[in-house]
Amino acid sequence: MYQVSEVAKLVGLSIPTIRYYEKLGLIDAPMKNDRGYKVYDDNIVQYLGFIVNLKDTDMPLEQIKKYVDAYKENDNQQCYSILQEHAEKMKAELAKRQQILEKVQYKISHFSTLKGGGK
């Protein structure tokens, strides 16, 4: 079991963000220990980590909430559709960034051949 400060360090979020995600229903409300402090189990930590992954790939919180709701309802088709659509967007973004990277690398190569450009 983890306290919120430990969870924040494990998943790379601030404590207020974790509380906000809880308020939105992205994660289940944690249990409380005998001293009244909220404690998070491994399942919540792992699930929160996946939410962070989705957020890191620019999935909007509204879409993450739709995924979480579908997951809680065991709506496998909806979960599949949401993740499939997001994966397609990620692939397109990666292809775009790859093209930009190639242009930047070309410019780096160009400037490295000029006097003083490769220092």
Percent with pLDDT over 70 in the chain: 96
Q: Is 84 domain-assigned?
A: yes
Is 65 among the domain residues? Answer: yes
Q: What is d(CA 64, CA 67) in angstroms, rounded to the nearest whole number?
A: 5
Task: Identify whether 110 is part of a domain.
Answer: no
CATH number of the domain to which 82 belongs: 1.10.1660.10
Judge whether 102 lies within some domain. no
Tell me what percent of the chain is helix, strand and coil, each rounded to the nearest 5.
Answer: 70, 5, 25
Average pLDDT over residues 33-45: 89
Answer whether residue 105 is part of any domain.
no
Residue pLDDT, tens place only, 48-73: 999 999 999 999 999 999 999 999 99
Count how many domains the chain has: 1
117 falls within a domain: no
Within-domain flag for 60: yes
Say if CB 101 and CB 89 are below 8 A apart: no
The answer to the question of residue 78 being in a domain is: yes
Domain span at residue 35? 4-88
pTM over 0.85: no
